Amino acid sequence: MMVVVGVWIAGAAGAVSRYLISGWVHQFVRVDFPSGTLAVNLAGSLGLGLIAGSDPFESTLVVLAVGFLGGFTTFSTLMIETIRLGLNSPLTLLNLTATVVGGLALAAVGYTLTS
Amino acid sequence: MPTTGSLSRYLAKVRHRTRGLSSVAAVAAGGLLGSAARVAIGEWIPTSETGFPAAVVSVNLAGSFFIGFFLARRERSVGRRLSLQFWAIGVLGSFTTFSTFSVDLFQMLSAGRPLTALGYLAVSICGGLGLALGGQRIGAAIR
């Protein structure tokens, strides 16, 4: 039960962190590209890779992984922002490729570092 | 709200106008609900014997549909900015997840199951884009 409540609270913390960090990144980068969402999804993939490589069943790490990183990273915003780039735009493919390939690579790096 | 251009840019403008604790509270409340729903669905839909993460696919596809639907509905009526922060960023943002998707892909590849990884990737991305577009169309079509 403690883990469940911990996951809920960590999910809220993850969402707020995503909101603030993606906003900062987007303001800092200053291009019309969803750089904020890309940044949080890449960072979250690295973080979950690190946890998956260590001990993913330890309860603190479950709260961090399922709650915080689950709420920190997002798939729905990735989809809607990709569509809003315009399906004919080269940026669409760039956004998807950078997110998926980068996320996979960083998950692998994280996993390898801790396993 | 423009139908093209990045949501981030739009969100940055919204954020600029509604700084402060109320927007953070809306995202936090939505994030708590979205995460709780994701965990509940994860318990409810088991991972299949083939190791295909059906629960992650389900929440990501459902969340993609609803974000398209929600944003299209919102364009038709002048919703409150806090509702965008609560629903789109908080609830749907936390309900769906990308970190699990990345790590799942990596583990499928390192377990020597590239076809499962490819299927997972294709269903998630193509399905997510299709459902978000469908959600947008339906949201815009309903009076």
Residue A74 has pLDDT above 70, yes or no: yes
pLDDT at B14: 57
For B128-139, what is the mean pLDDT?
A: 96
Contacts of B72 (CB under 8 A, 6+ apart): B135, B136, B137, B138, B139, B140
For A103-107, what is the mean pLDDT?
A: 98
pLDDT at A85: 93
The answer to whether residue B81 neighbours chain A at the CB level (below 8 Å) is no
Extents of the domains making up chain B = 19-141
pLDDT at B143: 72
Q: Chain B contacts of A12, Cβ < 8 Å?
A: 28-29, 31-32, 35, 94
Residue B84 has pLDDT above 70, yes or no: yes
Of A47, A65, A77, the CB nearest to B93: A77
Residue A7 has pLDDT above 50, yes or no: yes
Residue B2 has pLDDT above 50, yes or no: no
Determine the structural domain holding residue A92 and report its residue range: 2-114
Number of domains chain A is built from:
1
For B1, the closest chain A residue by CA position comes to A84
Residue B3 has pLDDT above 60, yes or no: no
Residue B100 has pLDDT above 50, yes or no: yes
